[in-house]
Structures are given as C-alpha cells and as structure tokens.
Structure 1
C-alpha cells in the first residue's frame, strides 16, 4: 500500500474515534480555561508579591499555567491513537494491510503530529491572548522579545508530549499500562523530582521539565538549569526521538 493511502487510512481512523476527538477538545478547554483563571488570580495578587517574585514575574508563562493539566489530555490522545488498535485486536488487520511496519508506524505518527501541531498552536495563541487580557496592565505583548517564540513553543510542546506518549504506548501496547505509567510520571513524579533540591539536577532533564522552558520569557531568579529555552526543547525532542525509535524497533521485532 502506498504511503499516501496509509496516511489517508490513519486520518480516517483518528477522526472516526470519538474518544480521540474529545481528548483533544479537553486539552484545548482545560489549557485555556485554567490559564485564564491563573492569570486573573496573578493580576489580583501582584501588588502583594515579594520583590523576588516580581523580578521573576513572567506574564507569558503564567498564561500557560493550564498546560500542566492540558498536557494530560494530550497524553491520553497519544496513547489512544496507538493502543486502540491493540486493545481491539485491529492491529493484526492493519499490519496485514500494511506489512511495511515502518510505513505503518510513521504514517500514524505523521498524521497525529500534524493534528496535534494545529490544535497545539491554536490553543497556545488563544491561551496567550486570553491570559494577557486577564492580566491587564501586567500583560505582555506578542511583539515583546521572546514572546512569539514562547507562544509557538507552547504549541510545539503539546505536540511533543503527544508524540512521546505515542512512542511509549506503542512499546507497551496496552492503554491501561501506558496511562498507568505516563499519568503519574508527568503529574506527580516529574514535579517532585524537579522541585526537591536533592533531585532537582536530575529532574530538570526530564521531558516536561526541560521542554517547558520553551514557554518561558523571564528566567526565574532561582533557576539553575544549564540550558536555555531551545536547549530544553532539544532535550525534550531527544526523549521523543528515543521513544519513537524504541517503538519502531519493537514493532519490527514483535508479532502483532
């Protein structure tokens, strides 16, 4: 089967599964809604902040506060895109129709990545503009130094989170196992490792901790990370690459 036919087939699979559409919609709503709420709260509390907190005040990054929950919906999307076929047994039919396993996997990834990038960028720009509206006089402008990079970076971050989840789900082949590992990892373990002084040097190299730097415009006063926004994004991209290479190797070696 030609690659273009496989891509069309994968697009049909994704848009025909209601759960994948709902998870993407949830990612948009949660990211925007929570970002607006945190931005409004930050505006009301700005005058009570310490001098140190005011120095580190980053209106752009504050508007992306909802990303911490929005990314969980992107994780679910990435897992469902891959593991639905394993849980239903349709993977055998898919691989029989497309025996070139590399073509099958990377067509699925390409379609999902394209969809996530569009949704991520739209979400990121809406989150920024609505969040800044909530911040009022403390707002940042899209033309300010580093802001456009951060906003575009927000869309790229959401895309890479989904792709990393796809790679992990493809290796594990179980939606429950994949979500049982990824959800606690990103929601709890990563935050703990990144915020406890004893483990901070390790935590800052985890995919979400490193990747989120792309959304920062103002570097926090106590930030000790040895990399900048693009360096952090590069670290996250390496995590994604490793997960996709692992998915490809295991798909080639294992039976359906």
Structure 2
C-alpha cells in the first residue's frame, strides 16, 4: 500500500468517525443502553438475592450477564442508525460526492462504527457484571479472574459483531424502521421459536452462536459450540452481510 492510498483510507476513516460522533442518536442509544442495562442488572440481582435457597450456588457472573439478551437490542439499533441515517434527507449523495469510492466508504464506516462500539460495549457489559458483584459481595461466589476477563471480552466482541451485522443489514435495506422491524423480529421472535423447531441448526444462527462467545463454563447452558466455533460463526455471518451490503452499495445509483 503506497503512501497516497494509506492517506486516502485514513482521511475517509476520520471522516466517517466525525459523522458518527456528530449524530446525537448514536450517543442517545449508547447512554440509554447503559442506563437500561443497569436497571436490568439491579432487577436480576434483586430477584436472585430473594432466592435464599439458591443464591449461594448461583453464579454471580451469570446474574451479571442475564441482561445480555435485552442489551443486544440497543446495539442492533446503534448499527442500524449508523448506516440508515445517511439515507435520510439525501445525505448519502453528499457523502458519495466527497468520497466517490463506494466500497471503501462503506467499509470505513463499519470500521469507524467498530471503533466506537468496542469501548461502549465493554463499559456497558462491565457495569452490568460489576453491579451484582458489588451488591452481593457477602454471597459466597468464587469466580476466577481469567473467566471474568474472557467473559467480558466475549460479550464485548458479540455486541460489536451484532452492531456491525445490523449496520450491514441497514445498508442493504436503507430504511431505519424496516430494518429495525426485520432484525428485532428475528432476534426476539423468530430465532427463539426456531430453537424449538430447528434444534439441530440453531447453534449456527448468529445470535445463538454468539451466545457461546461469553457464557461462562460454569453456566447451566448446554455448550453445543466452543468459544472459537461460536466466534467464527458469528464473524462469518457478519462478514458475509458486510460483503453483500458493499456489493449492493456499489451497484446502486445512490
């Protein structure tokens, strides 16, 4: 890669970062996800603390991760807003006038979104995990440090991949409401139902495969996949949709 190409990529990446950080809805979604996750963590912690018979054996880490299934909704919306927002009011025409390299422009948008999502996801997941540890500090629950670190890294990775996957679907459909309906319907209705009707292939869906990225070894969930397998499948889904989104973006007039 020559110097001019490197500078071009850097400029496009900085431009995409500037656009994302200037969107109020991006920060509203992140802050709302943080607040909602803390409320959920408090609710799950209170419910678990009320079960005096089982609180001694229930993993505090499991309680901290119980909100992940709901937390992913915020990151799905985050990814959708990142790509669909430019199609509102003809902003995409302006972007493509400034950056005519369509494939590179969309690729850098995903990279910029990942840069924003990784620290946001880590902080939000960490807050949810720390809350039950702090509130239930008198409960006899021993969790190894390497398990906690691995779980935090896996949960952060899953939320980041989910955000990028959602951004790719948003770039394909180009409509905020339609994309939100499609993805939330899949993640919260179709996928849970399919686990009963399609048990043999459920582990290969992006959300189910992503589950194995962060569930601790001591969890009651049956481990159908390893951490590496779950991560690989989730990454493959994300990469495939990003490629499809890039191809569609390059072939369209706008």
TM-score computed with the length of structure 1 as normaliser: 0.88
Give the structure 2 partner of residue 251 of structure 1: 249
Q: Distance in 1 between matches of 2:109 and 2:100?
A: 14
Which of residues 29, 32, 39 is equivalent to 1:33?
39
Aligned match of 1:21 in 27, 37, 46? 27
Give, in angstroms, the shift of residue 37 of structure 1: 1.9
User: What is the root-mean-square deviation of aligned Cα atoms in Å?
Assistant: 2.0
How far apart in 1 are the matches of 2:114 and 2:85?
A: 17
**Matched residue count:** 246
Deviation at 1:48, TM superposition (A): 5.2
1:109 correspondence with 2:102: no
Per the TM alignment, residue 43 of structure 1 is displaced from its structure 2 partner at its CA by 2.9
**Alpha-carbon separation, structure 2, partners of 1:221 and 1:80:** 35
Q: Distance in 2 between matches of 1:31 and 1:157?
A: 16
Change (3 A) 1:70 1:16: same
Deviation of residue 222 (structure 1)?
Answer: 6.5
- Identify which of 2, 15, 27 aligns with 2:8: 2
Runs (5+) with no aligned partner, structure 1: none
Alpha carbons 2:103, 2:247 under 8 Å: kept: no
Q: Does 1:235 pair with 2:233?
A: yes
Q: Identify which of 6, 10, 17 aligns with 1:11.
A: 17
- Residues 213, 228 of structure 1: 8 Å contact kept: yes
Matches of 1:64 and 1:220, distance apart in 2: 11
Per the normalisation by structure 2, the TM-score is 0.89
CA gap of 1:214–1:138, structure 2 versus 1, over 3 A, is farther
Q: CA deviation at 1:31?
A: 2.1
Matching of residue 73 in structure 1 with residue 70 in structure 2: no
Cα distance in 2, alignment partners of residues 151 and 139 from structure 1 = 18
Aligned counterpart, 1:199:
198
